[in-house]
Structure 1
Amino acid sequence: MKKGNLYLIPTRLGDNPPLEVLPMSIKRILEQVDYYIVENEKTARRFIKKVSPSKSQAALKISILNKFTNPEDLHGFLAPAHQGIDIGLLSEAGAPAIADPGADIVAIAHEQHIRVIPLVGPSSILMALMSSGMNGQSFAFNGYLPIDKAERHQAIKQLERRSKDFKQSQAFIETPYRNTKLFSALLNALSPHTKLCVATDITLPTEYIKTYPVSKWKQEQIDLHKRPTIFIIQA
């Protein structure tokens, strides 16, 4: 029997109409797939209904993959694929498996010889880098920086040195309600000449993307509280 496919399905980055930022191929796959692996069932169902209002919600079979999921359960999530059934891996926001727990499922799919098919859609990390004016040939995404003030300061200085030594853009994120503290920490730790890109609310009507030297950022007023933001530095 031919195995089913694992489709990596991107979602929108905010509440704008899905098909303004997603291709029609996403709608087509959502309409043909009933088995899903998602981070949050409620928001996943809402997204599917938004894109395909006529699709039966009762027909959806959903497995939850988040920080509370038992790793021993992951292999079972792909069991339908061995019966020839396609499965969709649906991100909570943006592209699946990028800064997202779905990467573990993708790794297991390769081990089980299940075909992985990535679909086109927004990635806030890549879109921020695209619009930053920084080095897109050599870059690194570093996830979240430490919460502890001293450890965070040290991590920022290390990223700045790495950027300078390797001529490499360094990107990272923060939980939106801690953005203001991180932004302040960046201005305090970085050299005045280091470039900093702040990319906020990407694809939304409130989108804000600016790249300035740290010295100029110190003269700017910006509200990042509870707004999804990518930070990129280049020394």
Structure 2
Amino acid sequence: MMIQKSFANETEGAIILVPTPIGNLEDITYRALNTLKTATVIAAEDTRNTKKLLNYFEITTPLTSYHEHTRNEKIEKLINKAESGAQIAVVSDAGMPAISDPGTDIVKAALERDIKVIVLPGANAALSALVGSGLSTDEFYFYGFLPRKKKEKVEVLDRLKSIPASLLFYESPFRVKDTVNVLHETLGDRKITLARELTKRFEEYIRGTIEEVLTWVETNELKGEFVIVVEGANEDDAQAAADWWIDLEMKEHVEHYMDQEGLSSKEAIKQTAVDRGVPKREVYQNYHIRN
């Protein structure tokens, strides 16, 4: 167990996650600016992008790159600096570090070495889009970027379609049309909101049913990064998703888990028994003895 008292000794080294604006530079906090100014070094996902932010606010703190291609070699160096008393500010290209970027790894490495991890509050595209979507904020499920290939995308959505919480995804303008199509095929005609260019001059929310928004993406030029917010499953959707196996023979049910989800026969039999509410022995006999 590890108990962290973040500000008991502010001379100790630390990893400090600093959210940066997702579009409008005025959204940065005073605390974030002060942290970037006083940090020993700033570890950035893309130094070119972060340099623009630092130049705008006349911050001269040393900058080093930290992204998925260099993280393994950089983590050890940054952690060693923190152990020696350095204050390492970690930033992403925009928004909260460690959300859909490699910041998670440095957090894990720091905690394994008992180094403090301090998280500053700040801009986040997913939460901004959710609040502006008009969909339920009582429960929400953030997935991030869906897989690029349709088959893998469908597999993910099949897992999520019975969740009653609002679903949040990030998507690029180049794939948003395909993604909305797959959402329609997999989830049906739920309510959806596309939020693009958040906090920027051309910020735009497109709200409606998936069918309505599908027409919009087919007839409009798609620019900027998108956040997609989809209505969660209602009771009928959830029940239908839960009973996906209803037309399968018991043997086919087991084989689905083995072929589609890579489970062993033992694991597949156990899950099939759970789905059907029957003893494992019954599924075992049906699969092995009659196989």
TM-score class, shorter-chain normalisation, is 0.7 to 0.9
Q: Relative to 1, partners in 2 of residues 1:216 and 1:153: Cα closer, same or farther, differing over 3 Å?
A: same
Instruction: Quote the Cα distance in structure 2 between the aligned partners of 1:203 and 1:66.
Output: 25
The residue number in structure 2 matching 1:208 is 204
The residue number in structure 1 matching 2:242 is none
1:3 is aligned, of 12, 16, 19, to: 12
The residue number in structure 1 matching 2:143 is 142
Whether 1:83 and 2:113 are equivalent positions in the alignment is no
What is the letter of the counterpart of residue 131 of structure 1?
A: G
Whether 1:225 and 2:222 are equivalent positions in the alignment is yes
State how 1:59-78 maps to structure 2 within 5 Å: 60=62, 62-69=63-70, 71=72, 73-78=74-79
Q: How many angstroms does 1:102 deviate by?
A: 0.5
Q: How many angstroms does 1:223 deviate by?
A: 3.8
Instruction: Quote the Cα distance in structure 2 between the aligned partners of 1:218 and 1:104.
Output: 37
Whether 1:33 and 2:31 are equivalent positions in the alignment is no
Q: Which has the larger radius of gyration?
A: 2
Do 2:71 and 2:102's aligned partners in 1 also have CA atoms closer than 8 Å? no
State how 1:73-222 maps to structure 2 within 5 Å: 73-160=74-161, 162-163=162-163, 167-192=164-189, 194-220=190-216
Instruction: Quote the Cα distance in structure 2 between the aligned partners of 1:125 and 1:109.
Output: 26
Q: Unaligned regions of 5+ residues in structure 1, if any? A: none
Larger displacement relative to structure 2 (194-203 or 140-149): 140-149
Do 2:140 and 2:168's aligned partners in 1 also have CA atoms closer than 8 Å? yes
Instruction: Quote the Cα distance in structure 2 between the aligned partners of 1:211 and 1:184.
Output: 16
Instruction: Quote the Cα distance in structure 1 between the aligned partners of 2:209 and 2:90.
Output: 39
Q: How many angstroms does 1:136 deviate by?
A: 2.2
Instruction: Quote the Cα distance in structure 2 between the aligned partners of 1:224 and 1:233.
Output: 21
Q: How many angstroms does 1:214 deviate by?
A: 2.0
Q: How many angstroms does 1:133 deviate by?
A: 2.5
Instruction: With the length of structure 1 as denominator, give the TM-score of the two structures.
Output: 0.83
SS at match of 2:174: helix
Do 2:181 and 2:214's aligned partners in 1 also have CA atoms closer than 8 Å? no
Q: Relative to 1, partners in 2 of residues 1:91 and 1:27: Cα closer, same or farther, differing over 3 Å?
A: same
SS at match of 2:95: coil
Whether 1:22 and 2:28 are equivalent positions in the alignment is yes
Q: How many angstroms does 1:154 deviate by?
A: 4.3
Q: Per-residue CA shift, 1:181-207, capped at 9, x if unaligned? A: 223333444322x11121111111111
Larger displacement relative to structure 2 (103-112 or 219-228): 219-228
Report sequence identity in percent. Answer: 27
Whether 1:43 and 2:40 are equivalent positions in the alignment is no
Do 1:178 and 1:225's aligned partners in 2 also have CA atoms closer than 8 Å? no
Q: Structure 1: which 4+ aligned runs deviate by more than 4 Å?
A: none
Q: How many angstroms does 1:218 deviate by?
A: 4.3
| Cα RMSD for the two superposed structures | 2.3
Instruction: Quote the Cα distance in structure 1 between the aligned partners of 2:90 and 2:73.
Output: 18
What is the letter of the counterpart of residue 38 of structure 2?
A: Q
Q: Unaligned regions of 5+ residues in structure 2, if any? A: 1-8, 234-291
Instruction: Quote the Cα distance in structure 1 between the aligned partners of 2:194 and 2:221.
Output: 9
Instruction: With the length of structure 2 as denominator, give the TM-score of the two structures.
Output: 0.68
Larger relative contact order, structure 1 or 2 (CA cutoff 8 Å, min sep 6):
1
Q: How many pairs are equivalent? A: 222
Do 1:22 and 1:120's aligned partners in 2 also have CA atoms closer than 8 Å? no
